[in-house]
Structure 1
Amino acid sequence: MCGITGIFDTRGRRDIDRAVLMRMNESQHHRGPDESGLHVEPGVGLGHRRLSIIDLSTGQQPLYNEDQSVCVVFNGEIYNYQELIPELLALGHVFHTRSDTEVIVHAWEAWGGDCVQRFRGMFAFALWDRNRETLFLARDRLAVKPLYYALLPDGILLFGSELKSLLAHGALARDIDPLAVEEYFALGYVAEPRTIFRQARKLPPGHTLTLRRGIPVAHPKEYWDLRFSLDNQCSMEAACAQLDDKLSESIRLRMISEVPLGAFLSGGVDSSAVVALMAGLSAGPVNTCSIAFDDPAFNEAEFAQTIASRYQTNHHSELVASDDFDLIDTLARLYDEPYADSSAIPTYRVCQLARKHVTVALSGDGGDETFGGYRRYRLHLMEERLRSAMPHSVRRPLFGLLGRVYPKADWAPRMFRAKTTFQGMGRTSVEAYFHSVSILRGPMRSELFTDRFRREIDGYSAEDVFRYHAGRADTDDPLAMIQYLDLKTYLVGDINTKVDRASMAHSLEVREPLMDHPLVEWMATLPSSLKVRGREGKFLLKKAMELRLPQDILYRPKMGFAVPLARWFRGPLRERVRQAVLGPRLAATGWFNQDYLRHLVDAHQSGASDYSSPLWTVLMFEAFLRNVLDAQPTDPVAMVAAAQAPR
């Protein structure tokens, strides 16, 4: 796992300031503390920070082809690199290392931009081909690894694994994109391809960007998308056997490492399945890591211990205080843009624990999206059955009225008692799903933002992100549609972002067997009834794991990786949240309705309402303003050092 960065002159061969490139590279020291490397020639500069995982002795980067006309910097892992080497040797390529990085160089020479189609893994890389005068950027299919870029007005292109490397250049304007702010307060993150800054973009998942010297205009090109065909009619028994095989292969590939390796173990279905299969593939005990909370409502430690004992793992667990809220400013600096998933706190802590024992950890991330595990999926399908019973032209006025008039309808059947359900029934399927996952829903954002801000976004809504992806989903299956939406939005913008930054803060590589793209593609061929059946999510995964995992692991209620925000904001963080939310920094933007902010704080702290999620979202935006937007760009290394400081 590494950090990459670079500078490219799209217009010519202007000299690259080596000191500036080094500053950009060192801003990501935490991503690769083992080694650093630069490549500089007229018009091109590439930087790399290395966390050594494979080919420890000869895998340094930048890495070159035989005549050094092709150069690459790479973040991630190509898990099938050993399969590609014989094919490339047969084509006449000569290898000087045993690293997966060198496969990228020779694959580019052999197949050009189509090389990414051959790679199985998590990756973000930049490749410079001097003979073709071409810079090629690529990001993996599910965007496990990040890649940011910005084309400056003078034709200079900047790129890097984190926004902080672009900021370290010094020329990137720190102008906030109001459309990104709208997305953030709806979703808790800024959705791809936008970033919080107007000039910068994220390379979308499954895309490449090809820039040729003298041709400054270039647009990302998609090389992969997921199609839910749902046409695989195999039996339950056959599906369970195939899933077991595919999971085992995915995990086996991700266990290739020359440094200590282990797994996160929360006690949930996904991480428990990964550990169970790892144990069957490992010659010795698996290293497992979990954190316990001193608040029983959030503690899954006993379930993690059950799996650890069953498979006799080398289990490491640490107790985290339920008042572990001192990471707010640290997280703001790590994420570089507003990010409001409070589970970033325990994720940061479990990565901190894991790094004491291993350098590589396998996780269960992606399981909910791939196998259909979120509770909201089941609720959405229930609503969909009702929506399909009457036309939208009837539903919208009828349930829209009910949603406004009946905040609490105890007289109705149970599934109709919630105001949210009434509102959802009046919407289209995509509108309803967006509404259900929003942190501050449409009416709340209308009250939160001032008239000035609404003029700046000019009618834009974060819902447009969902409409765009829904238009490309190529399915009318209700579950497949929302799985596709999550794969394009929540998985990328929230889950993968959270894990990448939290793990890289501790120089820990996290691998994702449940996001193996052949596995994801195969699951998309299976009917939705094998994913959600009745009130049971992850139906197929649970059936496939019944011989490996106990019933009380497979079929217990999902807990999630949460923290007690509501209690914090009425107790130990009472004054801090009030000062931040009602303080001068937010007010200075002119974007927020101060009366509504005061209502959120007062109503929550009095116990009248639970506004913990909206308040956390506001709190983290204020922390971003102070720690990133207002930070001096002259010393990025100090910024990162502060972010890494023990807490």
Structure 2
Amino acid sequence: MCGIIGTLDWSGERPPDVDLLKRMLGIIRHRGPDEFGLYVDRRAGIGCARLSIVDLSTGQQPIPNEDKSLWIVFNGEIYNHPELRADLERAGHRFTTRSDTEVILHLYEDLGPACLQRLNGQFAIAIWDTRKGELFLARDRMGIRPLFYTLLPQGLVFGSEIKALLLDPRVEARLDSRALAQTFTFWAPLSPRTIFQDILALPPGHYMQVCDGFRTTSRYWGLTFPEAGSEMQISEKDAAEQLRDLLSDATRLRLRADVQVGSYLSGGIDSTYIAALIRQHTPEALCTFSIAFEEAAFDERSYQEIATAFLDTDHRRTECANDAVGQIFPEVIWHTEAPLLRTSPAPMYLLSRLVHENHIKVVLTGEGADECLGGYNIFKEDKVRRFWARQPESAWRPLLLQRLYPYISDLSRGGDYLTAFFRQGLTKVDELGYSHQIRWRNTARLQRLFSAGLKKSLEGYNPAEEFLSSLNSALSGWGTLAQAQYIEVATFMSPYLLSSQGDRMMAANSVEGRFPFLDHRVVEFCNRLPARFKIRGLEEKHVLKKSAQGLLPPQIWQRRKQPYRAPIHSAFFGHPNGGYGNPPYVRELLSPEAVRASDIFNPGAVSRLAHKCQTGARVSEGNDMALVGILSTQLVQHLFIDNFPPRPVEAAHPVRVCRGKE
């Protein structure tokens, strides 16, 4: 993993500012603290802050091709680079390093953008063609690695993180009101939009070419499913075996590194499955890492202990106290560069810090299994509601929802609440987005907290309608689970889970995450499976559990899925009986003066919410989401608009500078 940055002026009238480029590398040094490099000529400057994982001695970036007409900087890993290198060497290419970066460059030299189809990996790529004067930017299929850019009158600026772009004096940080509405609907802005106006994210599975003022963006890969009834014809036994074989090979490839590789181990089936496959592929001791919480509702340590004992791993655990979440939250937002509606990224920040403290740079995790194999409750909700919609007046069909949310149904009148909540829009089963509309509407209610001015600017704008209208008509022919899976990936996994909760929290502590479930071969195989192999009755990830038998202890693969959650109001306001006080920044940013100054939220509504949380009154799920949304948005305003940069930025040093023709 690395951080990349760059500037382009196609007129050649404004040569790159080397000092600025060094500061841009400096502000993202957490992504790659090992080495820094730049290439500059009269039109372009590209740079890399490198986290050395493959070819530690000679893999410095930027890297040129043989005649130095092409230069590349690259963030990520190409897992099949040895096989690709062998093909290229047979074709006559000469290599000066053992790195995967150089493999991409020579492959691009031969195939152009079509080279992306050959790559098995996670990546953000920038290639500067000095002859054509063309900049090529590309991002991996699933959006694991970030890549942002903003257009200028005579060029553009790009980088792995938005904060690098904001150092350029030509780039202004302004909140995008529609991106904020998307966040308060989907939990994150949808690419290409970011929370900042005119700063864009290159979408997953896309590449961009910029030359002489012309820009084209193209898709090279997209998530697809077969038409309903045309799924793969395969037995359950064969599907389980093939899934295990694919995951085993995906894990084997992701162990390729010249440094020690560890693994996250939450105690759930996904991460334990990957850790078990690692143990099959290497005789070396495996370091595993997990989080424990002081609140029993969030804690999974008993399952972690079962898994680590069974797999005989060298296990390290970080204890996440409620107040720790509140204390590190500003640092979390500094790295997410976006508002949040959950505190879940904060414990992940503490977890990657534990990995870094143990001198490990790479961890494998189980991300992607829930999206690929129907692991979330939202998929089962959709199934229950469609069953219920056939007999809307049935008294017993909605009772199935209580099996999904026993902690709600156990409350007084909890069953009535579930029935009323999920009855909304019950019979509109033919609407695209049926699976998610109820969640989106519920989250969007938080927009009532927006200021009068923000509400006025958003009149007539509906993020859900905009997203659904952008979808390819082919989705309507897919099975209902396939539709829901596609929407979940597009609106949650790529923009939030792999970003705010994934890449950003790992990169903050110079750790690279690798995800076998998101190997494109695994994803494409899972997409072709019949829905009944994913959800059997109300059992999620059925085929994965079948393939786990004999590989994992029964207590792990038979357990009910426990959603990953983290403390919210108690992290910022402490316990009603006074365990600790709220951090000073909470009082400051939620004060009526600060809320009026930012003019994003209604000061009276914010004061009432803060008082409710402070006094220990019963706080609802909606209150928790509102609190995090308001506080994180105020932090974005404070860190990136009112006080950017909030601390001095040291230029990267030492920096190897390669110069082209002036």
Q: Fold conserved (TM > 0.5)?
A: yes
Question: 1:341/1:639 Cα in 2 relative to 1: closer, same or farther (>3 Å)?
Answer: farther
Identity %: 34
Who is 1:456 aligned against?
A: 457
Deviation, 1:4, is 0.2
Letter of the 1:418 counterpart? T
- Alignment partners' CA distance in 2, 1:235 and 1:187: 36
Letter of the 1:534 counterpart? G
**Are the equivalent residues in 1 in contact too, given 2:378–2:436 (CA < 8 A)?**
no
- Alignment partners' CA distance in 2, 1:134 and 1:190: 29
- Alignment partners' CA distance in 2, 1:415 and 1:243: 40
Question: 1:575/1:264 Cα in 2 relative to 1: closer, same or farther (>3 Å)?
Answer: closer
Deviation, 1:450, is 3.5
- Alignment partners' CA distance in 2, 1:378 and 1:415: 19
Deviation, 1:418, is 3.3
Letter of the 2:462 counterpart? S
Who is 1:373 aligned against?
A: 375
Who is 2:656 aligned against?
A: none
2:274 aligned with 1:279, yes or no? no
Who is 2:171 aligned against?
A: 172
Who is 1:383 aligned against?
A: 385
- Alignment partners' CA distance in 1, 2:472 and 2:420: 28
- Alignment partners' CA distance in 2, 1:61 and 1:161: 15
**Are the equivalent residues in 2 in contact too, given 1:185–1:439 (CA < 8 A)?**
no
Who is 2:610 aligned against?
A: 601
Who is 2:657 aligned against?
A: none
Question: 1:117/1:558 Cα in 2 relative to 1: closer, same or farther (>3 Å)?
Answer: same
Who is 1:621 aligned against?
A: 633
Q: How does 1:80-159 map to 2 (within 5 A)?
A: 80-152=80-152, 154-159=153-158
SS at match of 1:295: coil
Who is 1:393 aligned against?
A: none
SS at match of 1:105: helix
Normalised to the residue count of structure 1, the TM-score between the two structures is: 0.90
Who is 1:561 aligned against?
A: 564
SS at match of 1:151: strand
SS at match of 1:441: helix
SS at match of 1:237: helix
**Are the equivalent residues in 2 in contact too, given 1:267–1:304 (CA < 8 A)?**
yes
- Alignment partners' CA distance in 1, 2:26 and 2:349: 21
**Are the equivalent residues in 1 in contact too, given 2:55–2:97 (CA < 8 A)?**
yes
Letter of the 2:617 counterpart? G
Who is 2:335 aligned against?
A: 334
Letter of the 1:524 counterpart? N
Who is 1:204 aligned against?
A: 203
SS at match of 2:424: helix
Deviation, 1:343, is 1.0
2:515 aligned with 1:512, yes or no? yes
Question: 1:354/1:413 Cα in 2 relative to 1: closer, same or farther (>3 Å)?
Answer: closer
- Alignment partners' CA distance in 2, 1:567 and 1:632: 29
- Alignment partners' CA distance in 2, 1:53 and 1:308: 26
Which residue among 533, 536, 539 is the counterpart of 1:533? 536
Deviation, 1:636, is 5.7
- Alignment partners' CA distance in 1, 2:140 and 2:384: 34
Comparing 631-640 with 238-247, greater Cα deviation is found at: 631-640
**Are the equivalent residues in 1 in contact too, given 2:381–2:435 (CA < 8 A)?**
no
**Are the equivalent residues in 2 in contact too, given 1:416–1:422 (CA < 8 A)?**
no
Who is 1:612 aligned against?
A: 624
**Are the equivalent residues in 2 in contact too, given 1:328–1:623 (CA < 8 A)?**
no
**Are the equivalent residues in 2 in contact too, given 1:337–1:628 (CA < 8 A)?**
no
Comparing 419-428 with 513-522, greater Cα deviation is found at: 419-428
**Are the equivalent residues in 1 in contact too, given 2:590–2:606 (CA < 8 A)?**
yes
- Alignment partners' CA distance in 1, 2:342 and 2:310: 32
The count of aligned residue pairs is 620
Deviation, 1:632, is 3.1
**Are the equivalent residues in 1 in contact too, given 2:6–2:45 (CA < 8 A)?**
yes
- Alignment partners' CA distance in 1, 2:376 and 2:111: 39
Question: 1:374/1:257 Cα in 2 relative to 1: closer, same or farther (>3 Å)?
Answer: same
- Alignment partners' CA distance in 1, 2:3 and 2:331: 19
Who is 2:552 aligned against?
A: 549
Comparing 74-83 with 427-436, greater Cα deviation is found at: 427-436
Q: How does 1:352-371 map to 2 (within 5 A)?
A: 352-357=353-358, 358-371=360-373
- Alignment partners' CA distance in 2, 1:30 and 1:188: 25
SS at match of 2:319: strand
How large is the Cα RMSD of the aligned pairs? 2.6
Deviation, 1:388, is 5.6
1:307-354 C-alpha deviation (Å, 9 max, x unpaired):
111111111223232332201111121122223331111101111111
1:198-255 C-alpha deviation (Å, 9 max, x unpaired):
121000000000011x2x2323211101111151010011001100100000000000
**Are the equivalent residues in 1 in contact too, given 2:71–2:128 (CA < 8 A)?**
yes
SS at match of 1:266: coil
Letter of the 1:607 counterpart? A
**Are the equivalent residues in 2 in contact too, given 1:371–1:523 (CA < 8 A)?**
yes
- Alignment partners' CA distance in 2, 1:411 and 1:308: 38
Q: How does 1:276-315 map to 2 (within 5 A)?
A: 276-315=276-315
SS at match of 2:126: strand
Question: 1:44/1:419 Cα in 2 relative to 1: closer, same or farther (>3 Å)?
Answer: same
**Are the equivalent residues in 1 in contact too, given 2:373–2:526 (CA < 8 A)?**
yes
Which stretches in structure 1 are left out of the alignment for 5+ residues?
Answer: 391-407, 641-647
Who is 2:495 aligned against?
A: 493
**Are the equivalent residues in 2 in contact too, given 1:185–1:440 (CA < 8 A)?**
no
Deviation, 1:287, is 1.5
SS at match of 1:75: strand
Who is 1:403 aligned against?
A: none
Q: How does 1:166-245 map to 2 (within 5 A)?
A: 166-212=165-211, 214=212, 216-229=213-226, 231-245=231-245
Normalised to the residue count of structure 2, the TM-score between the two structures is: 0.88
SS at match of 1:170: coil
Which stretches in structure 2 are left out of the alignment for 5+ residues?
Answer: 393-408, 653-662
**Are the equivalent residues in 2 in contact too, given 1:430–1:470 (CA < 8 A)?**
no
Which residue among 564, 578, 598 is the counterpart of 1:589? 598
Who is 1:644 aligned against?
A: none
Letter of the 2:465 counterpart? D
**Are the equivalent residues in 1 in contact too, given 2:149–2:157 (CA < 8 A)?**
yes
2:72 aligned with 1:72, yes or no? yes
- Alignment partners' CA distance in 1, 2:352 and 2:286: 17
Letter of the 1:302 counterpart? S
Letter of the 1:82 counterpart? P
Comparing 259-268 with 6-15, greater Cα deviation is found at: 6-15
Letter of the 1:136 counterpart? F
Q: How does 1:11-30 map to 2 (within 5 A)?
A: 11-12=11-12, 14-30=14-30
1:2-57 C-alpha deviation (Å, 9 max, x unpaired):
00000011334531111111111211111111100000001100011010000111
- Alignment partners' CA distance in 1, 2:208 and 2:333: 28
**Are the equivalent residues in 2 in contact too, given 1:250–1:513 (CA < 8 A)?**
yes
1:457-515 C-alpha deviation (Å, 9 max, x unpaired):
24112213541454456243111111101111211111111211111111111111111
- Alignment partners' CA distance in 1, 2:157 and 2:420: 47
Question: 1:61/1:574 Cα in 2 relative to 1: closer, same or farther (>3 Å)?
Answer: closer
- Alignment partners' CA distance in 2, 1:285 and 1:187: 40
Letter of the 1:346 counterpart? P
Letter of the 1:330 counterpart? E
Letter of the 1:256 counterpart? R
1:102-125 C-alpha deviation (Å, 9 max, x unpaired):
011101110011111111100001
Letter of the 1:308 counterpart? T
- Alignment partners' CA distance in 2, 1:276 and 1:439: 40
SS at match of 1:370: helix
- Alignment partners' CA distance in 2, 1:180 and 1:478: 28
Deviation, 1:432, is 4.5
1:421-449 C-alpha deviation (Å, 9 max, x unpaired):
1224265654544444449633442x222
- Alignment partners' CA distance in 2, 1:461 and 1:294: 39
Which residue among 482, 485, 506 is the counterpart of 2:484? 482
Question: 1:470/1:599 Cα in 2 relative to 1: closer, same or farther (>3 Å)?
Answer: farther
**Are the equivalent residues in 1 in contact too, given 2:241–2:547 (CA < 8 A)?**
yes
